[in-house]
Structure 1
Amino acid sequence: MEEKKERYRKYSKYLKDKYGEKVYKIPINLPVTCPNRDGECGKDGCIFCGDVGAGFESLENTLSVKEQLSKNIEYISKRYKAKKYIAYFQNFTNTYMPISNFRKYIEEAAKVKDIVEICVSTRPDCINTRYLEVLDEIKRKYGVEITVELGLQTVNYKTLKKIKRGHTLAEFIDAMRNINYYNFESCCHLILNFPWDDMEDVIESAKIISALGVKQVKLHSLYILHNTELGKMYNENEISIISVEEYVDRVVSFISHLHSEAVIQRLAGRAPKESTLFCNWDMSWWRILDMIEERLEELDFYQGKQCDYLNGKAVRRFV
């Protein structure tokens, strides 16, 4: 029987190839906020963001970093016989604090046995070279890999303003230049179905991600929470959400235009059911994933197939 062709670089395989075995990601919840909430660049956050941020599956932030990691490692090691872990500083903005606090938290994670990588989730406007220097020092001292995740959401600067993101595309470009200088792994979060974006924005997202050398990508569809500005817009029929079929087509086009070396962490996400007005068209995330795989097969698309725009496309015939 012919083996099924892998049409994009999957994160699980990338980690297994890198570390020689399956690696488990453990979320860490710090007592931090966001500059888009505390008045630095806004007070109410993005129009889609809930009160708990992205950390609805994390342990309480009253526990220390070591306690959160230890509790999860104890459980996962028994259940899955796991031996290697990634400490994932996930919720809100994990560089938005004094540098001394930042160093303390990251170093506490690096000291935990069997942590092979530290992943720090943050915003493009919260990347400063001094924080990256701290990460570089800890990487060298403890021998852990470093990944910096940036929430961009869209390259459409008008949509960024509409969703009250609090930064523009320029800050993302600047942050990526600094991250690349330290040769850290980088990851970009994108939402492909904002009501104000279209297929052109999706394709341009893939192009900018590729041109900037982003190494990993997380895609997910927009989910809408109660008690958010976006939730109010949804309830009052001020916005409409594209069909799941159109979302699948956007993902497939994104993959096809994305540079072949990038790793794709996720194509569809999840949300806390109890506070959600809309999520994944009331479908399971794995069914959407199946639809994406089927569409890739149908069109014979694969990652990088349409990535023909880098390195001076217009003069390629002369060299």
Structure 2
Amino acid sequence: MSNNKLYQVYSEYLKEKYKEKVYRIPINLPVTCPNRDGCVAKDGCSFCSEKAAGFEALSNKISVKEQLEKNIDYIGPRYKAKKYIAYFQNFTNTYLPPAVFEAYVKEAIREDVVEISVSTRPDSLDERYLDILKMIKEAHDIEITIELGLQSINHKTLKSINRGHTLAEFIEAANLVKSYGFELVVHMILNLPYDDEEDIIEGAKILSALKVDAVKLHSLYLIKNTPMADLVESGKLEICSMDDYIKRTSLFLAYLSPDIVIHRLLGRAPKEDTIFCNYSTSWWKLKDMIEAYMIANDLYQGCYFDYLGGKAVRHL
């Protein structure tokens, strides 16, 4: 384990897997989410804006092929990059007819694209989409990764933030993805106002029990004029302190299986769009503070990973 053995660092995992640096290229499709258009709910997650998470992506009016070309033409010479991951990032990328989804994904096939990553919701994935991805993987010898947004394991929290699904749908989707042999990445937010420390620990345990491959941690950021931002600004909702977030993140890692790769510890958003992001602290400084807390408290990923495999009968 890298970084003074604190946690599994994604960039190092990629370098070991592909034998050189690999860069993720965001792709923005003209899609929405089923908790926005009325299918399962309206208005989307209470913290999410009309832009969702695609702050660094190109316009979704540009074709997938052109988005890749523009970004690779910029990143390649700048960072001397030769291998890329096509990351279908924004909104729910399987929330469209399977044939349309297939056409979009096939546009991302290039000799220098070694992996395709598809971000989606637990309730927006079935065998049709995974069969398409399996076919593409086998036909083009390319890696496939599925990223599922979960955010919290607490069903009351999921209802409060208007996710439109519960833990059950996530467990079903996670098991389905794993049955296809694709890498599974799970998105979690560790400072949602409705969650406490026990929810964070239980989240690490559930993801470990499901044997997910990687986790992407987000610190909550609040976009202006979103429902949750309005509640926080009016004093009706409180976000845990920075010290609490540092402790929560450290405990999450401590209870998480040491085999799970950590894509990142924090989320980012443009300052001009938010009322709250990373406790008004730079993401790298907050990351350093998390690592310093772990070192000071003798914590590292998996140090409390002792609860699976029939713990109660080990002494017999």
| Helix, strand or coil at the partner of 2:293 | helix
| Helix, strand or coil at the partner of 1:152 | strand
1:300 equivalent in alignment to 2:291: no
Amino acid at match of 2:130: L
What does residue range 1-319 of structure 1 map to in structure 2 within 5 Å?
A: 5-110=4-109, 112-318=110-316
**RMSD between aligned alpha carbons?**
1.0
Query: Matches of 2:12 and 2:235 in 1, distance apart?
Result: 41
Superposed displacement of residue 6, structure 1 = 2.3
Which whole-Å deviations, capped at 9, do the CAs of 1:111-166 have from their partners, x for residues lacking one? Answer: x2300000000000011011101101000001110000001000000000011110
Superposed displacement of residue 39, structure 1 = 1.0
Query: Matches of 1:173 and 1:43 in 2, distance apart?
Result: 23
Q: Which runs of 5+ in 2 are unaligned?
A: none
Superposed displacement of residue 100, structure 1 = 0.3
Query: Matches of 1:243 and 1:36 in 2, distance apart?
Result: 29
Query: Matches of 1:5 and 1:283 in 2, distance apart?
Result: 23
Q: Which runs of 5+ in 1 are unaligned?
A: none
Superposed displacement of residue 43, structure 1 = 1.6
Which whole-Å deviations, capped at 9, do the CAs of 1:199-221 have from their partners, x for residues lacking one? Answer: 10000000000000111001121
Amino acid at match of 1:205: G
TM-score by length of 1: 0.97
| Helix, strand or coil at the partner of 1:17 | helix
Query: Matches of 2:196 and 2:36 in 1, distance apart?
Result: 28
Aligned residues: 315
| Helix, strand or coil at the partner of 2:315 | helix
Q: Percent identity?
A: 57
Query: Matches of 2:192 and 2:50 in 1, distance apart?
Result: 20
Amino acid at match of 2:301: Q
Query: Matches of 2:74 and 2:278 in 1, distance apart?
Result: 29
Superposed displacement of residue 4, structure 1 = 6.5
Query: Matches of 1:269 and 1:42 in 2, distance apart?
Result: 25
Query: Matches of 2:3 and 2:175 in 1, distance apart?
Result: 37
| Helix, strand or coil at the partner of 1:16 | helix
8 Å CA contact 2:3–2:9 kept in 1: the answer is: no
